[in-house]
Amino acid sequence: MSTSPLLDLCVEIFQLILQNLPQSELQKANLVSRSFHLNARRILFQNLRYTGRKAYIKLGQLGMAHDEIKACIRRLEIVMGGHCPSESLRLTNAGLLELIRSLPNLDAFFFKQLPIYVIDLGIQSDMPQLSLALRTTHLSELKLNLHYWRRVVGDPSEGPEGLKKLSVVWYIGDKVDKPGSSAEHLYQFIRPSLQTLVELQLNFNPIGFPGTPVLDFRLLAAASNLSRFDYAVQSLDDGILELIPKTFPNLRALSLEWRNPRSRYSLSWQDQYLVALSENRHLTELALSCDFEKDAGDLYMEKDRISWQIRCYIRRFHAAETVYRAIAGLVKLTWIQLGIDVTDPYFTSPHRFVVEENLMPGRLKVERKIRGIKQRWMGYKVMEPVRKNGFRGPAIAISTMLEDLPGEVIDQEIMEPERDYW
């Protein structure tokens, strides 16, 4: 009986070959022989993702898997959604916590809880148990989306230690400025990893409770190694612009979203913000949700779509020109436009810009200029009706061709990674 020449290769090279196979072919290789199975399963079970209404059933099956299979799991992502019987929910809570404890080599754990999923796993009595289970692991990356607005129960519990990347979506906001508040729960969960964190993403939107909790950035000052900070908050407080460079002096990437669901619009841009932004000495990437339309009296619901989008882009292009001059090392700038869809206050439209550097011919000097990135509505000629006094008039030609827009728009849409934690 002949054997495959692949078996004569060392294990490292053999697994590199298997990693480049499509999932369907990898499943076939898993059935070839015992040697193929031992090598293929390390890749097949390395990254697992469970979603949908029957995720709790699949998790139960995974909990009964052999220890050798569990040892292969490095990354586990769970998206809970749909309505399930309460008996199954109790099994899910206990089974999930036990599953986390049983994965010895788990490096990344992502948990997203959809609002339609009626489950008690959140900042309830199970939260201390979840924190305890996570502390038994050796995670370097953790994402928690506790998308369920309930009141805090129990004492604050510490989260895992040694995390390098942490993303938390926090929709709990009761007991403002009182012992045991939701903000205190969040602080205690983050605190053990502050010394090791490189990336921190916080979405603090306590909708459904009176008051507006505000995070005290001084309690996060221990994160001296932090190089990326993404922060979304249900507030229009611009004071955080001055606090961030003092709290995180080594930031290279910063994203700020001020959300106001009632008005649908974010914090209005002011040129005076340039002073605070320029204090971020090492910043190369910046994203802001500042609004330009409210002060300009140019709201979407009152105007036509395409011509309005052009005006929105032009306003942000001129603002980008001032920002990149104020921040010497800036490479990428994104304006996150909120409220453009009147039916959804959280619908966003990003306007992306990059700073291009060119060596000027004959001179030892680098020229820096801002350029826009193509958006979906760009590159067309359309007919748009003119509205006057609320009535629809004759259509006129509107051009969104790249050559007709300022900023020497780059003809290439940039696909950003999905930010499902927002």
- Number of domains the chain is built from: 3
Strand runs labelled E in 68-124? 75-80, 108-113
What tokens does 255 get?
A: 């994203």
Query: In terms of domains, do 34 and 76 share one?
Result: no
Q: Reply yes or no on whether the pLDDT at 305 is more than 70.
A: yes
Q: Reply yes or no on whether the pLDDT at 414 is more than 60.
A: no
- How far is CA 167 from its chain centroid? 7
- Residue 369's DSSP bridge partners are 356
- Give the pLDDT mean for 375-402: 78
What pLDDT is stored for residue 149 in this prediction?
Answer: 55
Q: Which one is predicted more confidently, 348 or 360?
A: 348
Q: Which one is predicted more confidently, 44 or 285?
A: 285
Q: Reply yes or no on whether the pLDDT at 388 is more than 80.
A: no
C-alpha 150/C-alpha 167 separation (Å) is 20
Residues constituting the chain: 422
C-alpha 18/C-alpha 37 separation (Å) is 11
Mean pLDDT of the chain: 78
What pLDDT is stored for residue 124 in this prediction?
Answer: 46
**Secondary structure of residue 214 in the 3-state scheme:** coil
Q: What are 123-153's pLDDT values in tens digits?
A: 444 667 788 888 888 999 999 887 555 566 6
Q: Which one is predicted more confidently, 154 or 168?
A: 168
> Pick from 322, 330, 244, 338: which is nearest to 290 by CA?
338
C-alpha 411/C-alpha 422 separation (Å) is 28
C-alpha 242/C-alpha 221 separation (Å) is 14
Is residue 244 in some structural domain? no
Residues 349 and 340: beta-carbon distance below 8 Å: yes
Query: In terms of domains, do 35 and 53 share one?
Result: no
Q: What are 189-233's pLDDT values in tens digits?
A: 888 999 999 999 988 765 544 445 567 777 787 788 999 999 988
Q: What are 228-286's pLDDT values in tens digits?
A: 999 988 778 888 899 999 889 999 999 999 877 666 778 999 999 999 999 999 999 99
What tokens does 231 get?
A: 């922060």
- Give the pLDDT mean for 13-33: 68
Considering the entire predicted model, what is its pTM? 0.82
What pLDDT is stored for residue 381 in this prediction?
Answer: 86
H-run or E-run covering 350: strand 348-359
Query: In terms of domains, do 209 and 349 share one?
Result: no
Is residue 181 in some structural domain? yes
Query: In terms of domains, do 289 and 403 share one?
Result: yes
Percent residues over pLDDT 90 in the chain? 26
User: What is the residue range of 83's domain?
Assistant: 49-226
What pLDDT is stored for residue 272 in this prediction?
Answer: 94
H-run or E-run covering 86: helix 86-101
H-run or E-run covering 391: strand 391-399
Query: In terms of domains, do 348 and 211 share one?
Result: no
C-alpha 13/C-alpha 29 separation (Å) is 15
Is residue 253 in some structural domain? no
Q: What are 66-98's pLDDT values in tens digits?
A: 888 888 888 898 887 655 544 444 445 677 788
Categorize the per-residue pLDDT at 324 as very low, low, confident or very high, splitting at 50, 70 and 90: very high
Residues 130 and 98: beta-carbon distance below 8 Å: no
Distances (CA, A) of 43 to 23, 31, 49, 147: 10, 14, 14, 31
Query: In terms of domains, do 31 and 95 share one?
Result: no
